[in-house]
Structure 1
Amino acid sequence: MDLKSEGDILKLISEDDWMMDILTTVKSLNLPDWWVCAGFVRSKIWDTLHGYSERTPIPDIDVIYFDDTNIDETEEKKLERKLISIYPNEPWSVKNEARMHIANNILPYFSSFDAISKFPETATALGVKLDAYDTLKLAAPHGVKDVLNLEVKPTSYFKKDKDRIAIYEERVLKKNWKSNWDKIQVQHIKTVLN
């Protein structure tokens, strides 16, 4: 399949029964401002662009939502257990983005979309969900050019600060995406900010 646009990505996901089952399962929780994001979306795109017939395993299925009325971490664990009871044997990870500023010692996010925009890499700053009418929606605050061009670059949020640059570089090393997808190109940030 030739991928050139957001529409192509949405079509690709809509034709993947497993991904649609995951999205339907998460939608059933009725979470506010929810998305399934990061590697769930990126890996599907990269697998397709590499011509893989088998899905590359992902370490987790990142489910995010935004609920500033209940930022208790135990609620996230409860939701993970619920997802496991509905769809077992999947690596569920649930995070309330209204709480993550505390965990990450940063300014609060305004929404899940805002949180996605501040993920480390543009190719990972993606989310999908089903809206109230079961229409598939894509969140791509930095667009889809980098993920479609197999380019790993830091988001503008991560380029602004030397500590975040270090986090980005550490993630790129740890994730070692090139071992699964050899066509990707990784941009390293060598500039040290004062």
Structure 2
Amino acid sequence: MTDHALSPAPCPRLGDPYAASETDRIARLEEILLTVPHVMRILEAIRSMDLPDAWLVSGGIYQTVWNVMTGRPHFHGMKDFDVIYFAGTDLSYEAEDAVITRVNALLPDLASLLEVRNQARVHLWYEQRFGRPYRPLDCSMDSLTTYAARTHAVAARLDRQGRLVVNAPFGLANLFGMRLVPNYGQPNRETYVEKARRMKALWPELEIVDWAEERGPDVL
């Protein structure tokens, strides 16, 4: 399968919250992901390990979609593929590291791009790394509500029957509209601004919604 198995196709209708249904957007996302070999390999590896509440999230999904939409190579702009799971019975680094090792062993050619994290223990190290507290999470999908951009809050996995399951708590209209929108659930302004700058350089088509100091009504 070539790097451009799915030809570029702008999605103005899908990017309009009122012009298409979320069902339409999910169907298009599934169509895109199913045609990208390395994304499917990651999803299949996650399923084969039977990790609790495990998903591929964020950049590995939204950047893949943008690259397909704009006709760029699949790995354009790809810093990492975030694989998350939720194992609350053992919060040790050693247990998490063992999972990381197993995932890397299944995908050796992608190991340098994989970032595997147990969401049950993020609050144990987050403040030391980022300088602000982080509440304990209830499940993997709870983490999506804390991302700096709503647009980035998207997750996918394969169920036991091999069907693609998608979760996007803020919907997918901004993803298909190539519109970066802040998420005010966490005080992540600096992170958002930094990500927006990097994203705009890589995908000039991207519309950046500024982080408002004083928020008005949410419209997107």
Q: CA deviation at 1:32?
A: 0.5
Single out whichever of 131-140 and 73-82 deviates more from structure 2. 73-82
Q: Percent identity over the alignment?
A: 21
What does residue 162 of structure 2 align with? 134
| Distance in 2, Cα, partners of 1:137 & 1:77 | 26
| Distance in 1, Cα, partners of 2:191 & 2:73 | 32
2:105 matched to 1:85?
yes
| Distance in 2, Cα, partners of 1:140 & 1:110 | 17
Q: CA deviation at 1:66?
A: 0.8
2:148 matched to 1:120?
yes
Residues 169 and 2 of structure 1, relative CA distance in 2, 3 Å threshold: closer
Confirm or deny: 8 A CA contact 2:179 2:209 kept in the other structure: yes
Paired AA for residue 105 in structure 2: S
Confirm or deny: 8 A CA contact 2:68 2:74 kept in the other structure: no
- How do 1:101-112 and structure 2 match up within 5 A? 101-104=123-126, 105-112=133-140
What does residue 65 of structure 1 align with? 85
TM-score (normalised: structure 1):
0.88
SS of residue matched to 2:152:
coil
Confirm or deny: 8 A CA contact 2:64 2:74 kept in the other structure: no
Which ranges in structure 1 are unaligned for 5 or more consecutive residues? none
The number of residues matched between the two structures is 187
Aligned counterpart for 1:42 among listed residues 58, 62, 66: 62
TM-score (normalised: structure 2):
0.78
Q: CA deviation at 1:139?
A: 1.1
